[in-house]
Amino acid sequence: MAVEWSYRELQMLNDGLHKYASEPGIMKYIKIAAMLPEKTVRDVAMRCQWMAEKQSTRRRRTEEHNVGRKTKDRKDKMVESSSWANNRSVPTDTRGSSSVTAASDIDRAMLNVLEENARLLNQIEANILTSQAQNNIDLFHRTRSNINNLLQSMSQMPGIMSKMPRLPVSVDDKLAGYLLPGVNLAQVLSSSYLKEEPRGTW
């Protein structure tokens, strides 16, 4: 693969796959990428897909080898043996690749937005640690705008992305508008599910 992975990173990747096994595809990759400072969400998704394909190929070859041995051991006539082998369906285990099906469905533009937000949040943290919090206003503005655009895109997508469960929080648009003027969140989320379950604010 194009991206190099160290032994330590592969260990952390495997730990993350076990730890977040119950998470949906994209959230699983985001959380695992957060454990790997040198890897992006896309790197994690592509690596998981490659691992699943490799595992599936290995299992398929093992099954084909076993079928070949059974065919060879048969004492029937060659025609009967050939017919049996051709008519026998070789089961292929696709469970290994099911965990990364979501990776191929993730829109490249959405991944880019998530990666940009990760970089922005890292810069915000760095500014706070270096007493330059005044430089974070624009960064927060860009992060918020990216999230709004992402939510709007997801609500318009067909299939599973448009059926994601509602978030258990609502946005305090008045407070957000005071801190980050210039973005009308009420317009963006007027038809969104965020306002349907107001259990908390951020």
Share of the chain above pLDDT 70, in %: 53
Please name which of 82, 63, 62, 59 lies closest in space to residue 72, comparing C-alpha atoms.
Answer: 82
> CA 104 to CA 37: how far, in whole Å?
23
Q: What is the pTM of this model?
A: 0.35
E strand or H helix that includes residue 144: helix 136-156
Cα distances (Å, whole numbers) of residue 79 to 64, 66, 83, 93: 19, 20, 6, 29
Q: Is the dihedral angle over the CA atoms 147, 152, 153, 158 positive or is it negative?
A: positive
Q: What residues in the chain have per-residue pLDDT under 70?
A: 1-2, 65-107, 157-202
pLDDT at 182: 54
pLDDT at 15: 92
For residue 153, the one-letter residue type is S
pLDDT at 114: 84
Q: Is the dihedral angle over the CA atoms 155, 103, 98, 32 positive or is it negative?
A: negative
pLDDT at 193: 44
Tens of pLDDT, residues 147-200: 888 777 777 766 655 555 665 666 666 666 666 655 444 444 444 444 444 555
E strand or H helix that includes residue 57: helix 41-73
- Locate the domains of the chain by residue range: 7-105, 108-195
pLDDT at 196: 46
